[in-house]
Structure formats: structure tokens, C-alpha cells
Structure 1
């Protein structure tokens, strides 16, 4: 990243627009259109798609990019987020590869001329126009090209991949995808007869009488659903229940190792004992560091509205030099001391020219400090003599993130920069200009604006996490070890659970590449351990996770394809039971020739439904019944009763009485447009589903994760 981006908050989120423009020189270098990837060997493949290996290295680069995007948006990339990114990136690279294979077959590409027009033509991308807008609010193509020519001279641009992956590749891939979508959608066709039939169908109405025997009229206990019934239904609907990969299930018991009441009291008392000394010390920063605070000392100021602490009114209200606390803050106890107060701007706008002395990525020297300082002095003298700051920044600054904008950094909040840079901008008056040295080199800084002056406070925090003591941890671990000493296999595991009156918990559908186990949370190592063992094994050591020790038994394994009956039963038993009930009720109604006879056999009334719609046949309280309602729309059935019809909610006997058409407002042309739109939408989704379903995908993630 550029140096100023590293400066911001020492690791603050990067502004995407700054990245894009700072690296725009990459756009016209080496055609600018090739992404990551290249030749890979099979052993490096994280996944193979139709025989094409996608390397682990390329996969990791995409994961890293997605993590950086999350950070740019101000999100914390914790383990849970990171593993979600892994899964999403994996699915994305498969989709991208499948589409790329289709693009090759169809000859879909983006030429250099087309790509150049996308950047500088009539509709340039927003991220580009935002940075090169003139005083009239128009895209300044000349200025953009001038900046690009300057940046093209820098062959050592450290962020070529970043701008490529953040902006250029998505723009290219988006264009290809749009072409592919257009090709599919332009193949859509709706004949006029289909639209005419749809209009006619929408107008069809019918009146009918019927008798219904709800499935609920037969008790569940009267119908036995066998394993064969379950499997037969699953095979008949295999596409709904088959899985693409296997899974495992575990049973576990947890032994709590969270902080005890005594542990919490000990942390509170340890801070309370330091309160008086903390108040008396004249060097709050040293005191905080000496006492190993989990919140490091920030030697800067923040306005009250930027202090994100519920107790801030009490902390500030205690007065300068006074200590407030200990108070509870999430999982810590904290002492807070207001060290000083100043009236400072809430935000500052500045520009700078950096003469760097180190590479921000490698930390290797780039310029001799003495030479860098002399160059900074000469540039400052030139500016004071009337030289243009913007042009000198464009020609001399080593900060790629701001030089393209004449060194302008925009507005930033107090504390957003490293200390030396921050102190100059917020402590000096508007218009101040001088040389400031930071860890990155020498900056010629000019404060161009300051706004929203308010009291700002320097606050020292002495914080201690409320952690479980070693005694608490040892007690929980001993209990877990004692349990495992009596649980060498699944049978003894169950017996010990029963004997010790412990609660067994279950986690199912754990796939080999998963990162989360049921309600236990994110832990990739736990998944690996589950798959190292055999079914029926008990893990020999307790697994420590989230303030608990777990004793774990591997209880089962499901292969890919149709699951076992045990797993299928909870999903489809009620469906199969209703099918069996339907057959029983239909048999009971066999041979009836009138609705009255059917009603008498079932001891239910004859019901009537008027103005039933063909497209949505609603039969009273039974809901939408396509089969039963559809019987009423055959003209040859009017006045006749149906054979028993097994529907969605019960078994029906239907007698159509009349069929008629109602006026419709939709024209044939309008219906054609509607059907065409539906077809186009279905094509986009369906084509991707078809590609994935027919693809040969070999998942090698478990070799790396």
C-alpha cells in the first residue's frame, strides 16, 4: 500500500479511491488486462474444474484481496470472517473458471481498444471520474492522461496487483459476463400462441363442489413409515436430497473453564489496588506500560464525540488528573485517567510531499536520511519562494497514494495519522507549513483547513482482561481428562455420560472443508481432528475451545450422495406419512359415485368453491390444490365426479359444475413481454446452475486448510 495509507492509524482502513488513482499508472502498462494465475502444477491445485487446476497460490491471493476489501470497509477480519471469505472465494473461483471456459468456447473477450474506451470513453468508471473532475464538474480526461504518463514512469509500483484486482479485473470480467448474459437472453423466444394461451388461462374460472378428507383425519400412529418407504421416496426425489460431499457427526460433553467469580474479583481488586498510584503518577504512559495494560497508551487527543466508551461522561467528569474506576468494559476491568485537555479541531485537511527513507512494505532503506532531509529543505524553500506545491508533489513525492492529487490527503480525524504527523496537523494553525520527520521519512506538510473546534481529551486507560486463572483452567481440564480416562470408545463414552449424569450435545453435517462445528463456533483445527479419527473413536485428548474443554466422540459418517435413512427420516418422514395416509383414504373412497356418498363415508360435509382460478386454484381452507382444482377445468368433466385425488393437504373428490371466462386486462403483447422477461431471468440463473451441475470439480481444500 502507499505510505500515507500505512500512516493512517498505523493500520487504518484504506480509502479505495486513493488506491485506484495512486495506481492508475498500471492501467496502460503491459496492456493492463491480465489477472492473477498462470501455469500451475497439479500438486498446487486447491480445486480442479473440468480438468483445469486452480492453484492454492492464486486462491490465497484472492482471499487476501477479499480480506483487505473487508478492512477497507471498516470491518474487522476475525477468524469467523476469514473462514467465510475462504468459502466464498472458493465458490467464486469455481464460478469464474466455469464462465471463463464458456467465454473461450464462445469467443467472448474484451479488446485493448474496447478496454481503453471503457476507461476514457463516454462512460468512464465512477472511481476514475471522481478523482479527475474539473471546476465545472466534468471529467478531465487530459488531467487523467497527464497523471497516467507520470505514473507510468514508475516501474517499481508496489500495488500493481491491488489496482488490477480491485478495479481492472472486475471491470473486464463484468463486461464479459454482460456479453455472456446478453447472448443467453437474446436467445429467448416466446411464440405468440404461448402468450395467447397464457392470457386465456388467466381468464379461466370454475365453480365446483368437493369433499376432502384431510391427512390429519388419520392419526400418525395408524401409519407406520418404514425405512424402505423413506429410501424409496428419497430415490424418487434424489436431486433434492443428494449431497455433493460427505459429512461426519460427533457427540461431545463440555467442561466449563470460563473465569470464576473469584477470578473476576481478583482482577477487580488488582486494579483497585493501583488506583491511588495511577492518580499520583506524572507519567501515565509509562505507568500503563509498566503494569501491562491490555489497552496501550495513546499519546494523543480525542474529542468527546469520538470517545466510544459508555462511561465517558463519568471519566471526563472526574476531572484532569483524576482516576475513574475500576469499571467493567465487556470482558475487562478498566481504570481511566484524564491526562490533559485541549481545544482542537475535530478534523483537519492537509497536503504533503514525502521524501521517503524506507520502503513501507519491506522496511528496507530507500534514501539516505541526510540526502532526504536536504531535498526536503530545498523543496520547502522553493514552495516558500512561490513554487507550485501541487506540481512539486506530483514530481517528487514518494507517497503514491496522494502525489497524484498534488499531495492532498483530504480531511482526516484526530488520531488517524502517526503521532508526529498528527500532532503537527492538529496543534498548528491553519496555513502552517514545515518539515516533519516520521518513521517513513521527511514530510513537507501544509495544513490547508481545520474545522469543528471542541475540547479534546488525552486519556490513559489501565485495563486488565477478566481471564480464567490457571487454577480454574486446571480444574476443568482435570474433569475432562477424568471423563476421557473412562471413555476409550463410543460405547464407554455413552456409558460414562450416563453414569456421571452429564449432558450430551450433538453436532452433525460436519464437512471435511468446514471451519465451524455446530454451535461450537469457528475452529478449523477441530474439524481436522474430527477427520483424522475413525468413526467410533473418542479423541484421546480434551479439545480446548472458547473457555471450555471438550470430550469428543465421532458418532457417524455420511457418504456423498443420498444420506442414510437416519438422516433422511427427520426431513421427509411427514411427507411420506401423508402419502401413505393419502393411499389409505383413497382406498376408503374407492367406488363412490356421488359426492354425498363420499361425504357419508368420511363423515364430512360437501363443500363448494365458486370462482376458482385456473392459475391459482384455491379450495377454501384446504389452500391451493393444483391437482384437485385442475380437474374442474376440463369441460368433459362438468357434472361428473373425480376419482379420489391425493393432493397437498388431503384426499379430494371433486365435481365441476361450471366453467367460464372473466375479463382480463392484460393484452397478448404485454403477456409476451412478461413471459420473455421471466424466461430471460430463468436463463441467467439456470445456465449457471447447469454449468455447476455438469462440471467435474475436484475439491482439494483439505490438503491446505
Structure 2
């Protein structure tokens, strides 16, 4: 009894222990430690010593995705990166303003809201005289806060997001204003700016391009690169990166798979006899060719593409089957034919001459719940139909009243103001029901059509450009690998991976088996896309796992697309880039330096003419090139060369001037320094230019200075 009593007393503790024991079966010890690490629980990152809340971050991400149905189309981590950048920006400005003793109050935010064009110009918040009414805005917000419906919650979240955007804008403006207060431009500085940009120089020169020396004649070693990045360490800092080699094994349909797909479609065309186990008799099963309802047959055949239940003009027909469809008789079946990634069979249902453009007018009678209906609409669907029918009766007696009725009754304000006119529109511009009435009826026809927007009374004003159009019922089968082919691909991937596990050389074995090796270099911890594999966070996380070592290999499933075998070839930790990582960036710089030394040996003569003759080139000339626009005709932008020419003594030879594209020897012919004209020196304009440049670069500078820790890689 004493033992049972102790168990009861400690039951809560035992549940936790048992839970953790079960947890440990499915989660590695490393993940358990990470789970209880406070930084992973409470924060998504730290900015200048201030936690960026994981809860706030995750809520914003989910809210954005909920309010933007197409958020997935942005691609992996797009939303997460966007929200993270917003949080970082907010934290940076908040800490900087706090240091300056500046706080953005709720009152300031409210004043900014009721001064914004979006709010002030909204009809929703105007009184009967068309003036902005603050009380209407307050009532609207109060209504959102008390609305527990899904739509109400979404609208409230949208409003809160708007408030955040207003606050962030105020933070940015406040800090920029503080900085700009200390930015002044004196008249002397404005004069100097004017003189600098308008000083011009004319000179003779000899130009020896770097491209005149082949890269093969100049060698840059890894030691050269190592010495250079050590001397310029601040320029070659890097995030942690990983290099991989990948071999991809894709599920690709074999020729045998394609033949099976074609045959499965062919089997649908003709009638066939099948034995019915229930009736114990042979029955005739109608095929696609003889069916009375081609669309229904296609739907029941589970086409892999949506059916196009409308007429198609000649330019819309699949290219490979176009001529056969045009020459087919109504009721016949064309195919199987291959188009894009599908095999298809198409039954020609109807051929008709229809216009490619229609001019029409309409009167929209919407009802509560119809698409785009205002919340104030209380009319039921039955009431809307009754009203539309009664208006049609009036119009049947006098079509001339159409414009007046549209102005008085139509729920479409855009066309109502034009007496119902929609102007000219193409075949695919309108919803199917509206389109079919306009393009398949005759000019001057008037009738009622119901769509998702309500009941439309339509009048066809005009039609033009009649063309032959085709209505098809098409059954599509996607060309994809069979289970047999997928099993074969798995066997290839697993055999390759197993050979690597047993000590085989990744590249050598891949080459021997004609597998393409895809290198992926400079992969970062929060990257999403991986070369030819596409989006795959699993591979990124594996490559950055502390337990993954160089030359480790792993096979990954690519969902339903195949497999990839990856090997980690290099780790670059955060800090100074390694010589091999920096090689492609530094090599052009060192090549330029080494070529410049070689070209210096070709500029030892005492005159431009002698230098030109020695190098079999001509003495060239440029006139009145300004320091503000330092472009040498025929060469390009060369600010260093123009500056050197401008400050050199007139008539003196200056050699070994290193430019962007080569080495120059220069003789200054004249330098023109403009006289200071007070009317041309605008101190305010120069100050505004400086402040504008400062504002555009300020956040980048603040972010570079900030101490930012990003924990997202542990969660995504």
C-alpha cells in the first residue's frame, strides 16, 4: 500500500518521465537538447541584444499566408525571409530610437492613421457630406474587434498589419530626421561640389588594355589569393557555407511506359464487350467515339487535365494535332497524340463560326452572398431573379430604355455610369456563362444569364471577326513513370549510394555509370533551392548538421520525383573566406595587378609617341571630359584616369596610370575649372541630394553595424 501511495503522489512526475522516454525513441538526444534550449523556445533571433519573439514571428508568417492564398507561389522561405527582415528592421530602429530617448506613442500612430490618404479618402469613413468622420473609423475598428467570424478575424488582422506598417514608417522617419538634423551643407561645400563635377580635361593618351595579355601568361596561385585576403580580411568575411556534389535519379517515363499510356487511351475510343459478373452476361460498353456526351465520358475517365468546355480558335488547338482536328468530322476522335507532358485523345463535338470580339451592355442584379456583393445588399436570390425577369419584360417592349434601367438598377457601378456598356471584349474576357451568351447568340439579342456575380440582363450590341472555332472533349494522361520504372530508379540510387558507403569514389563511380554530377557551391544555412534538385530544406539542414562531416554521403527522397545522392565536399565556417572559396573573386584583381606590372615594362619610353611606337598602337585624344562624367570615348568609364589627367601638370608625361580596363600614359593638354556662378550653385539642392543619399543608405549601414543572431535555421 505504501508503494502505491508513493506512485499516486508522484503520478505527475512519472507521466513526464514516461513521456520523455517515449519522446527519446523518435527524437535524437541532440534534438532534445535543442528543444529545451531557451533560444529555440522563446526567440527566433536576437537584434542588438533584444529578443525577436518566435511567437510574434510565427504569427505574422501564418497571418500573411492566411491572407494571401497564393503565398505558396512565392517559393520556399520567401514569407519567412520577408517577415524576418521586417522584424530586424523594427528592432534596429526601436533600439536606436530608445538610445536617443525617442518613443513613438500610440497617439502619434493614431494621428498618422487618420492623416493617411487610404483612410481619409475611403468612402467607408465619410459622413453624409463626404467629409472624413473619425468616429466612423473608430466604430469600424470596434466592430472588427467584436466580430468572431473568420472574415472578421481576417479583417482585424489586416487592420493590425496596417497599424504595424504605419508604426514602422514613423520609426524610420523619426530616426532619419534625427540623423538629417546633423547633416548640413555649407555654401563652400556646394561650390566645391559644383566645381568638381564640372571641371573638364583634355589630354593625349596611350592605352594598353589588360586584355592584350592572355590570362594563360599570368598565373595566380592559391598562396597569392591567401596573402591577398589576409591583407584585406575585412572585405572577405563570409557566412558559413557548404559545397556538395549531387547525383539525381529522376522518375522519368520509359518508352515502355509511354506505349502503355498510349494504349490505355486507345482502348477508350471504340466500343467493347465486357462480362458483367452480376448479370452473368456480356455487355456492350460504349466507347469515346460513340458516346452521346463527350464531356461526361471524359470526366468519368478521370482526365489528368481539366476539360476545356468552350470553343477554341485555330491558334489554340494543340499544334501536333491541329490539322487532323481541322479535317475531322464532327463526332470523330483524334489521337492518341503527344502534346507537352501528356498523351491525349480529342473528340470533335461541334464546329461553329463565332466572333473573336463582342460589344455588349449589361444590367447586373446581385443578391446577398453573390460574389462582390456589398454587405448592404439584402436581396435574396429569388428576389433578384424576379426583379431581373420584370426588367426583361420592360426591355422586350422597348430596348431603348436599357441605358436608363442600367443607371437606376445595375449593381455594377463601372458600367452603370456608361448606361450598362462594357465596350468591346475578347472571347476569354468574361466568365463562361456570360461569354457563351455573348458569343453564341446573334447581334441585338437580349437575355438573362446567371453567374457567380448575380443575374445579368445582357444586350449584344455588336460582333466582329467571325472565325471557325472548335469544341472538343479531350482526355489527357500525364506521361509519368510506372511503378516498375520507379522501382528500377530506386534500385539504381540505392546501389550507387551503397557503393559510396563502401568506400567508392563518388565522382569516379558516377562517371563510370554515366551519371551526371551536379556540384552545388556556396550553399548557405537558410538557402532553400539546391541546383537541379530545386526546393529542398532537408538537404540544406543535413549539410549544416554538426554531425555531418566532409565526404559524408546521404540519399534523399524527392517526394514523387525521384531520389538524390549527396556528398558533402567542403565546409566553410563563418569568418574569413578560405583561399579556394575566394579564388574566383580575388583572381581577377590579382590578374589585373600582375598584368599592370608587365605593361609597366612597356611604358619606359620618354614620350607618348615613343610608347605608342614601341607597342604598335596610336596616340589617342579626348576633349573636355568632366570629372562628373569620366567616360573616355571608345574606352569606357575611367574615373581614375580622368582624375590623374586633371591634376597633372599641363604638357607633362604621366605613365603607369592604372585604369579600369588597362594601363595609361597621359599628357594633359588643358584643364578647365569653371568659374563659380552663384546662380548655378544651389546649396539646398546639394543638401537634399546628400540627405537623400544618406537616407537610402542609412538602414544598410545600421544593419551592418547591428549584432544580429538568426535562429531560423533550427526551425525551418
User: Normalising by the residue count of structure 1, what TM-score does the alignment of the two structures yield?
Assistant: 0.68
Report the CA distance shift for 1:593/1:530 in structure 2 as closer, same or farther (over 3 A).
same
Report the CA distance shift for 1:259/1:57 in structure 2 as closer, same or farther (over 3 A).
farther
Corresponding residue for residue 640 of structure 1: 652
Corresponding residue for residue 58 of structure 2: 60
Instruction: Give the RMSD, CA atoms, in angstroms.
Output: 5.1
Report the CA distance shift for 1:201/1:325 in structure 2 as closer, same or farther (over 3 A).
same
Paired with 2:326 and 2:63, the residues of 1 have a C-alpha distance of: 41
Deviations 1:56-77 (A, max 9, x none): 3332332233334543xxx572
Corresponding residue for residue 571 of structure 2: 557
**Whose Rg is larger?**
2
Please state if 1:692 is matched with 2:703. yes
Paired with 2:56 and 2:485, the residues of 1 have a C-alpha distance of: 44
What is the Cα deviation at residue 564 of structure 1?
A: 2.0
Corresponding residue for residue 162 of structure 1: 157
> What does 1:188-199 correspond to in 2, within 5 Å?
188-199=183-194
What is the Cα deviation at residue 348 of structure 1?
A: 8.2
Paired with 1:449 and 1:149, the residues of 2 have a C-alpha distance of: 38
Corresponding residue for residue 495 of structure 1: 508
Paired with 2:615 and 2:350, the residues of 1 have a C-alpha distance of: 86
Paired with 1:229 and 1:549, the residues of 2 have a C-alpha distance of: 41
Is the CA contact 1:199–1:667 (under 8 Å) kept in the aligned structure 2?
no
What is the Cα deviation at residue 87 of structure 1?
A: 2.7
What is the Cα deviation at residue 153 of structure 1?
A: 8.3
Report the CA distance shift for 1:679/1:318 in structure 2 as closer, same or farther (over 3 A).
farther
What is the Cα deviation at residue 580 of structure 1?
A: 1.7
Paired with 1:272 and 1:348, the residues of 2 have a C-alpha distance of: 48
Report the CA distance shift for 1:91/1:225 in structure 2 as closer, same or farther (over 3 A).
same
Q: Work out which of the residue numbers 78, 90, 94 in structure 2 matches 1:96.
A: 90
User: Normalising by the residue count of structure 2, what TM-score does the alignment of the two structures yield?
Assistant: 0.67
Please state if 1:270 is matched with 2:264. yes
Is the CA contact 1:490–1:553 (under 8 Å) kept in the aligned structure 2?
no
Q: 1:554 is paired with a residue of what secondary structure?
A: strand
Is the CA contact 1:481–1:542 (under 8 Å) kept in the aligned structure 2?
no
Is the CA contact 1:586–1:645 (under 8 Å) kept in the aligned structure 2?
no
Q: 2:553 is paired with a residue of what secondary structure?
A: coil
Corresponding residue for residue 537 of structure 2: 524
> What does 1:342-381 correspond to in 2, within 5 Å?
349=364, 351-353=366-368
Deviations 1:563-595 (A, max 9, x none): 2222222222122112022234335656x5544
What is the Cα deviation at residue 315 of structure 1?
A: 9.6
Q: 2:158 is paired with a residue of what secondary structure?
A: helix
Is the CA contact 1:248–1:511 (under 8 Å) kept in the aligned structure 2?
yes
What is the Cα deviation at residue 338 of structure 1?
A: 9.6
Q: 1:541 is paired with a residue of what secondary structure?
A: strand
> What does 1:221-300 correspond to in 2, within 5 Å?
221-243=216-238, 245-275=239-269, 277-278=287-288, 291-294=301-304
What is the Cα deviation at residue 677 of structure 1?
A: 3.1
Q: 1:77 is paired with a residue of what secondary structure?
A: helix
Report the CA distance shift for 1:585/1:297 in structure 2 as closer, same or farther (over 3 A).
closer
Paired with 2:361 and 2:533, the residues of 1 have a C-alpha distance of: 43
Deviations 1:192-239 (A, max 9, x none): 111112222334333333344433444434433222322333344445
What is the Cα deviation at residue 693 of structure 1?
A: 0.9
Report the CA distance shift for 1:134/1:332 in structure 2 as closer, same or farther (over 3 A).
farther
Q: Work out which of the residue numbers 79, 82, 88 in structure 2 matches 1:85.
A: 79
Corresponding residue for residue 141 of structure 1: 133
Report the CA distance shift for 1:222/1:131 in structure 2 as closer, same or farther (over 3 A).
same
Paired with 2:139 and 2:337, the residues of 1 have a C-alpha distance of: 54
Report the CA distance shift for 1:308/1:153 in structure 2 as closer, same or farther (over 3 A).
farther
| Number of residue equivalences | 593
> What does 1:590-609 correspond to in 2, within 5 Å?
593-595=606-608, 598-599=611-612, 602=615, 604-609=617-622
